[in-house]
Amino acid sequence: MHLREARYIAVEGPIGVGKTSLARKIAAHLEADCLLENAQNNPFLSHYYQDRARFALPTQLFFLMERHEQLRQLTQPQLFAPTTIADFLPEKDALFAQATLNDDEYHLYSKVHAALCTPTEATPPIPDLVIFLHAPPEVLTRRVIQRARPIESALDERYLARISEAYNQFFSHYDRAPVLTVNSAHLDFVNQEADFSLLLQHIETMRGPRAFLNRGL
């Protein structure tokens, strides 16, 4: 696909994989708008990382409200002038809800979601391209430790592995948009221009609904 013809590109992946940094890099390269999720605004998130069973539901309900507002922004045409790069898919919220809530909590979450979203708003806009970044849990853990965000200090490799597997399962079935799956374990798009150029090359030569970029050592 021709990158500069895209109007909406989403970068996704688990915690620590580098999706926000890459979204910003692509936005700067294309001189595009950059729409980022606001996880730091969630007042329950730090509590959730310390006590997941207790704070999973309020954390997800807050994210649901935030995602509802972001989805409303994404459906406004003026935001696509000329291109929007986002570091999330709106469907991510349900992915996390399924991975973190128990059955009763997920049932309540689903009812709130249904009441909050009209049929039009409940249908996320379709990206021209989704870049799905993944990496082994031990790599995610190392990156989370290296960036040393206090809110993430309680994250462990087992939790990151569970979230990573949820992403893998989601994107194994996702077919609403073309997906470029990237193993980012040995790629540094922010600090290595050769790696970023390699990614751009794969996007430009992508044909069909799925492609893969997997570079080992």
| pLDDT at 120 (0 to 100) | 56
Query: What tens digit of pLDDT does each residue of 166-211 get?
Result: 999 999 999 999 999 999 999 999 999 999 999 999 999 999 999 9
The CATH number assigned to the domain holding 172 equals: 3.40.50.300
In three-state form (DSSP H/G/I as H, E/B as E, the rest C), the secondary structure along the chain is CCHHHCCEEEEECCCCCCHHHHHHHHHHHHCCEEECCCHHHCCCHHHHHHCHHHHHHHHHHHHHHHHHHHHHHHCCHHHCCCCEEECCCCCHHHHHHHHHCCHHHHHHHHHHHHHHCCCCCCCCCCCCEEEEEECCHHHHHHHHHHHCCHHHCCCCHHHHHHHHHHHHHHHHHCCCCCEEEEECCCCCCCCCHHHHHHHHHHHHCCCCCEEEEECCC
pLDDT tens, position by position, 15-68 = 999 999 999 999 999 999 898 988 888 999 999 999 999 999 999 999 888 877
Residue 70 pLDDT more than 80? no
Q: How many domains does the chain have?
A: 1
Global pTM? 0.90
Residue 79 has pLDDT above 60, yes or no: no
The residue segments making up the domain with residue 162 are: 3-214
